Amino acid sequence: MASASSLLSEERLLCSICLDVFTDPVTIVCGHNFCSSCLHTYWDSRDTCQCPMCKREFSTRPELQVNTVVSELAVDLKKLVQVKASTPGPQLPAVDVLCDFCSEIKEKAVKSCLTCLTSFCESHLEPHRRVARLKGHTLLEPVKNLDDRMCETHNKMTELYCLKEQEFICVLCLKADHKGHNAVLLEEQYEKVAATKDEAQANMQKLIQTRIEKIAEVEKLLDVSRVDSEKEEQAAVQVFTELIKSIQVSQAELVEAIQQRHRGIKQKGEEVLKELRREVTELKSRSSQLEHLSQSQDHYHFLQSFPTLSKPPHKSCPDTDLGPDLSVQDMQGHLTRLKQRVDEIMEEFLEIRMKRMREHAVDLTLDPDTAFYSLVISEDGKQVTEEDNIEEDEVTDNPKRFNTYCQVLAKEGFMTGKFYFEVQVKGKIAWLVGVVRESVERKNRSTLSVGNGYWCIGLVEGKYKTTADSEPIILKEELQKVGVFVDYNKGEVSFYNADSKSRIGRLTGCCFTEKLYPYFCPEPNYNGRNSAPLIITPVPQTH
């Protein structure tokens, strides 16, 4: 049974974030404990809300519960550490050892006997100092739990140390389980190990100094990063301020140009209208005179006046072309291209590109009706793994089910727009994820290629590849979570390291003519070496 001191061990009461004894410990729903301030700082510095220990993600920050038991233990441990720190000598116990012989009021022990396996106060120790037979016993500073030093197999004191197995043993162990092993007395091993204490302490101090230097280095880098970030932020704000000002000036100039051109057109139009109205008045007068002349019986006057009245004006009809106007289509085209260029520049920043993609996140659920017979899907429809002990006749076949490969589709399909999802591939040695067209071959074996309707990325024979490229993708770190972004209308499928937000693959010029379905292939189990599941994870939303 564990002793009280072992239960109150420091490593059991350390916060995994600050690596110090808990202060105001709280518990989250997954059962892990952290300092309240450490946990809030950890969540504030990240886009996602997840447990620092098990990495379980939460859509919203879970309600924190104060852990009173851990809090009380942490307080006790801090008091115990303070006692140890203020007490000279490593041999003195933190908790008093009581005499085993005192019957009523027990006195504090002054010595423990390894031969008698008993602790003695000053008065009960007197026989060990007087009787010759007892003087040969091994005495040491008082220690608790002397029974722990007994060999559980032979019920004898462990006086030897096996160098091969690095275990404490008794003399009978050396003749049985440790026969032929090199063993020495505990005192001899103690002297040998104690002789290396100074060297070990020196090495420890070197390690401490190295860590201190690293801390200083990291702190310096953080300071430099903070200063650089402030400078970048100021520069970005200045550039955007100037850009906005320039756009506003250009907008004002363009509006003024449009209005000025309209004023010119309006003035010219009014002059044309005035001339046209004058000519209409003149022509109406002539028409009236001709009508009156036609009723005259004076042949001489008719013939004399008709040629003049019927003759059209010397001036031609005024030109109604009021001058060139702005091409609305051309103007909008230029401004649209300008906006697209700004968007392209902004998306060169990984965080901005990932944020914009995640705005198109979709909630997916695996479709059991499409799953290969040996695939096992979790109850929530978010995880899939392959079990090699499932027989094919245990699963009912249907037209949607894949009869080849370890494949399964999501229930949700898409035929327009953009969509994005993330899949955890941590712990797997082979996998494939992406999208496929609805009519992809399901009953007969076919090559997993773009030509056959597979737009995917995967880990194949230890190399990252897409279904469009034969050359492997070289990555600096192992993928833990893959992001898949599809722009149906543009004909593009992009793959991302969802943790680092970097793009690792891109398929362009895709011709999508039918519904696309998210695709998952966990690959065979390989006798447990590839038993980790593919997991559709919630997409964190950044604000």
Asked whether 236 and 279 are in contact (CB, 8 A), the reply is: no
Beta-sheet strands, E only, within 89-187: 111-113, 118-120, 139-140, 160-162, 167-169, 183-185
| pLDDT higher than threshold 80 for residue 259 | yes
Rounded CA separation 152/150 (Å): 6
C-alpha R_g of the chain? 44
Give the pLDDT of residue 139.
85
What is the percent of the chain with per-residue pLDDT over 70, rounded to a whole number?
Answer: 88
357 phi and psi angles, rounded to 5 deg = -70, -40
23 backbone dihedrals φ, ψ, rounded to 5°: -125, 120
What pLDDT is attached to residue 80?
A: 60
Which pLDDT does position 487 carry in this prediction? 95
Q: What pLDDT score was predicted for residue 71? A: 74
- Is the pLDDT assigned to residue 4 strictly greater than 60? no
Q: What is the pLDDT of residues 66-125, one digit of tens each?
A: 777 777 777 766 666 554 444 444 444 345 788 888 877 888 889 888 777 788 998 888
Confidence category of residue 534, pLDDT binned at 50, 70, 90: very high
- pLDDT tens-digit series, residues 333-346: 777 777 777 776 76
Q: Dump the DSSP string for 25-89.
A: EEE-TTS-EEEHHHHHHHHHTSSSEE-TTT--EESSPPPPEE-HHHHHHHHHHHHHHHHHHHS-S
Please tell me whether residue 496 adopts helix, strand or coil conformation.
strand
pLDDT of residue 450: 93
Residue 208 has pLDDT above 50, yes or no: yes
For the stretch 405-421, pLDDT in tens is 899 999 999 999 999 99
- Identify which of 539, 534, 503 has the alpha carbon closest to the alpha carbon of residue 433: 534
Mean per-residue pLDDT for 397-401? 89
The predicted structure's pLDDT at residue 2: 40
Rounded to 10 degrees, the C-alpha dihedral 140/142/144/148 comes to 0
Please state the rounded mean pLDDT for residues 196-223.
87
pLDDT of residue 314: 63
- C-alpha–C-alpha distance, residues 466 and 456, integer Å: 6
In whole numbers, what is the pLDDT of the chain averaged over residues? 83
Output phi, psi for 356, to 5 deg: -70, -35
pLDDT tens for residues 419-461? 999 999 999 999 999 999 999 999 888 889 999 999 999 999 8
* CA-based nearest residue to 367, from 391, 335, 399: 399
Q: What is the pLDDT of residue 8?
A: 47
Angstrom distance (rounded) from CA 35 to CA 23: 5
| Residues above pLDDT 90, as percent of the chain | 25
Residues in the chain: 543
- Residues 293-316 have a mean pLDDT of 78
Structure token digits, residue 377: 């899907």
pTM confidence score: 0.49
Return the higher-pLDDT residue of 278 and 319.
Answer: 278
159-186 tens-digit pLDDT: 888 888 888 888 888 888 888 888 888 8
pLDDT band at residue 138, thresholds of 50, 70 and 90? confident
Q: Which residues contact 450 (CB under 8 A, 6 or more apart)?
A: 467, 468, 507, 510
pLDDT at 149 over 60: yes
Average pLDDT over residues 39-51: 81
Smallest Cα–Cα separation from 498: which of 433, 424, 409? 424
Q: Predicted confidence band at 378 (pLDDT cuts at 50, 70, 90)?
A: very high
**Longest CA pairwise span in the chain (Å):** 177
pLDDT classification of 493: cutoffs 50, 70, 90: very high
DSSP assignment of 100-122, as one string? SS-SSSPPBPSEEETTTTEEE-T
Instruction: Tell me the C-alpha distance between 313 and 280, whole Å.
Output: 11
